[in-house]
Structures are given as C-alpha cells and as structure tokens.
Amino acid sequence: MATPARSLAEQAYELLEGKLVNLDLPPGAQVSEGQLIEMIGLGRTPVREAIQKLAQQEMFIVLPRKGLVVTPISRGSMLQILETRKPIERVIVYRAALNAKDDQRSEIAAIARQLSISHESFGDYLKLDQELNTLLDVCAANPFATAAASPLRSHCRRFCYGNRHQMQLSEAITASSKMARLIARRDYVSAQKASDGVLGVMERYASAVGR
C-alpha cells in the first residue's frame, strides 16, 4: 500500500520540529512567523498550523503581537516529560512485543545490532532511536499512544542535542539495544522493564543538568 501524501501542514510541522530538535532554532530564541515561513519555504497557512501544534506541545511560547519564543530546556520540565512518557512507552512496548510480525521482529533485531555497534556516535544513536520508535509505533498499532508519545520524544531528542557533549552514550545505547532485543523476542514483560531502563538513563542525565 502506498504511503499517503503528507499535507503541507504536516510537512511544515516536520520541518519545524526538526529545526527545534537539532537546535537550529535554539532555546530562548525569539522568532516571527515570517522568519519561519522563509526558513522552511512553505506558505503562511501550513506554517501557522504547524506553529499552533508546536505551541500546544510546549515547543513554542506565543507572545501576542510580539512573535514566538522557542521554549527553553530546563531540568525540571525534562523530568516531568520523562515521568509522563514512561507509562505511555510501556503501553507501546507491550503492544509491539505482542503484535510485531516476523519481518518486523527481524527489523527490530537489526536495529538492536546497529545500536550495539554505533560506537557512541551521537548522530547514529539518535537516528536509530527514532527509527526504533517509529517501527514500534507501527507494530503497537495504538494511534492514541503514538500521538501522546510523539511530542514527548521530540522534547527528549531536543534535550539530548542540547546536552550531547555531556552525555555518556554507552549507557543509553546499551539500554536501547537491550529493550529492542527483548521486543524482538516477544518478551513483553522484560521489554517493559527495559523501557523503564531506557528512560531511567535519560532521567539520570536530566537530574545532573545544572548541578
């Protein structure tokens, strides 16, 4: 089945979310709608829709008649995000471990192997982490859980970018690879615990920021 074409608003959201996550739009920066339109090359209506969605997800702060501020990254907000994300990811991991088909399990196992040899490359780790999340969402087939997890994951990736020089990736890589292997083996009980472990690594990073 062909993948449905993305709307212009979806494209605008994806482009702006990417620039927020990789800090092309740095935390605390003040920007205008016009600057964002010029930045991604799409029209006012789709950009405005994307801004509204990102503001609802706490990525932008809207200042009436003054523009937008990119939401700062703080230790306190990250800990709240991770607290919220943990039970949602447990649902996704549980459903993915139960529902994944054989070819999907092979893909998950392949990502686990790629993670284990990523040699602490931050770019490789983040790319594989995103691929794994996308695949687990497909396997879990729970659009409500995916919709809830997606913005929380964006905040987490943005946090990782902002603190990448302080992060020891080996712990995060090991935790993610372990979780993926357990999902591929249909061990949903252990996989849920491993999912908590993945976010536990993030919690330790977040707790250490600013200390």
Task: In the chain, list all ranges with CATH 1.10.10.10.
Answer: 8-70
Task: In the chain, list all ranges with CATH 1.20.120.530.
Answer: 75-208
- Own/partner long-range contacts of 123-129 (Cβ < 8 Å, ≥24 apart): 125/169, 125/172, 125/173, 125/176, 126/157, 126/160, 126/161, 128/176, 129/157, 129/176
Taking only the tens place, the pLDDT of each residue in 152-172 is: 999 999 998 888 887 788 899
Contact status, residue 163 vs residue 78, Cβ threshold 8 Å: no
> What is the pLDDT, as a whole number, of residue 2?
40
> What is the pLDDT, as a whole number, of residue 65?
83
Query: Which of 123, 132, 158 shows the shortest CA–CA distance to 27?
Result: 158
Contact status, residue 132 vs residue 180, Cβ threshold 8 Å: yes
Query: Which of 81, 59, 68 shows the shortest CA–CA distance to 149?
Result: 81
Taking only the tens place, the pLDDT of each residue in 72-128 is: 988 999 999 999 999 999 999 999 999 999 999 999 999 999 998 887 788 888 899
Question: What number is the average pLDDT over the span 27-37?
Answer: 95
Identify the CATH number of the domain defined by range 8-70: 1.10.10.10
- Tokens representing 158? 């943005």
Query: Which of 131, 111, 156, 200 shows the shortest CA–CA distance to 20?
Result: 156
Predicted TM-score of the model (pTM): 0.90
How, if at all, do strands 60-63 and 67-70 pair? antiparallel
Taking only the tens place, the pLDDT of each residue in 119-165 is: 778 888 889 999 999 999 999 999 999 999 999 999 999 998 888 88
- Tokens representing 101? 């088909």
| pLDDT tier at 3, thresholds 50, 70, 90 | very low
Q: Which CATH architecture has domain 75-208?
A: Up-down Bundle (1.20)
Those residues whose C-beta lies under 8 Å from the C-beta of residue 209, and which sit 6 or more positions away, are 75, 78, 163, 166
- The one-letter code for the residue type at 92 is I
Residue 210 scores a pLDDT above 80: no
Question: What number is the average pLDDT over the span 190-197?
Answer: 97
What is the C-alpha to C-alpha distance for residues 192 and 195, in angstroms, rounded to an integer?
Answer: 5
